[in-house]
Chain A
């Protein structure tokens, strides 16, 4: 089961890579693979057991897989040290601002929808 689901995922990734090279060089292969799989699932209307099992298992270990590529920051320590204040300011400022904006907006929109549904 796990292997069958994994086969689907790898095939979709390779399809995505083909599509990326042939038609859409702006989008990376795995991302096109993800979108292709999404369309496939929408057409099919359900997630099969093998695919569900493989994706659940792989996604559980996603954090672990991210460690090696992210460790490449060690090559950019100088850059980070040089820009630390700009980086810290931008990260802290933007997450607080957009968090406040999105929460507030969603709350307003939900209240509006509820009001509209309340008065026919």
Chain B
């Protein structure tokens, strides 16, 4: 009896859930590696992306095929972005006491991160598509991707910029802030949340509860502000 390996392989790779399964496996593997090493660079999302890309290349599968068979996950991204309103609302209720410091820092920090990113990229000679994908990097990934698409950048590039920024900020942020004499937990938390999103917030939680709370607050507020103002600013400029 001869088995039809060719047909079996085609049925596997061509299955409508193949991309879904591949993503889940890559994510589980990345999570396990991260849990084991606790190494900040091994962020599960970044590692999963690398694993998925490597698998697709090795198997000779194009991105369009993968996208079609992983659509189940992408469809949920919309409602999940809407769900960000819940932590945002809970965080907003918490800031009453430091309202003005938080608001001022948020606006300055959000503008600074965007202007420094785009400005440095421009000085170093990056082309326009890269610059447009750089602008939203202080927002959390789902927001940054939507905004970037809106302002004519490459959403996937923005996602990677956001993730790399988070890792860089999470690694160097706490030490940099200590060197500068920034010691108040709310200040450390704000700086980490505005600039390093989720990775920064998990570092901030390690520094203490107040620090973590302010980081989560800063992360969701920065995301909302960038979502609201960056497309409008871009529409005004161009």
Contacts and interface: CB of A to CB of B under 8 A. Distances in A.
Chain A partners chain B: yes
Nearest to A107: B187
A63 to B, nearest CB: 5
Interface string B42-67: 00110011001100110000010011
Contacts of B196: 95, 99
Q: Which of B44, B78, B109, B169 has the most CB of A within 10 A?
A: B78
Contacts of A76: 154, 156-157
Report the interface size class on chain B: 35 or more
18 contacts: A27-B227, A41-B85, A42-B89, A55-B87, A58-B76, A65-B77, A66-B141, A69-B77, A70-B156, A76-B156, A86-B121, A86-B125, A96-B176, A98-B113, A99-B177, A109-B100, A109-B104, A113-B100
A16 B143 CA distance: 14
A65 B53 contact: no
Given A31-B81, A38-B89, A67-B26, A104 B182 contact: yes
A59 B113 contact: no
A23 interface: no
Contacts of B177: 99-100, 103
A66 B195 CA distance: 19
Q: What secondary structure prevails in chain B residues at the interface with A? A: helix
Contact of A62 (B80, B85, B157): B80
Contacts of B125: 86
Given A26-B235, A28-B147, A95 B168 contact: yes
Interface string B216-228: 0000000010011
Contacts of B90: 47
Interface of A: 6, 9-10, 12-13, 16, 26-31, 33-35, 37-38, 41-42, 47, 51-52, 54-56, 58-59, 61-76, 79-80, 83, 85-87, 89-107, 109-111, 113
A94 B113 CA distance: 6
Contacts of A38: 85, 88-89, 224
A98 B53 contact: no
Interface in B95-148: 98, 100-102, 104-105, 108-109, 112-113, 116-121, 124-127, 129-130, 134, 137-138, 141-143, 145-147
Q: What secondary structure prevails in chain A residues at the interface with B? A: helix
Contact of B79 (A10, A80, A94, A110): A10
B191 interface: yes
Nearest to A12: B82
Given A34-B227, A38-B224, A70-B141, 14 more contacts: A9-B80, A10-B78, A27-B231, A28-B147, A30-B77, A64-B27, A65-B76, A71-B56, A76-B154, A92-B168, A99-B191, A103-B182, A104-B182, A110-B187
B70 A68 contact: yes
Contacts of B182: 103-104, 106-107
A56 B53 CA distance: 29
Contacts of A70: 45, 49, 141, 145, 156, 159-160, 163
B213 interface: no
A70 B70 CA distance: 12
Contacts of A113: 98, 100-101
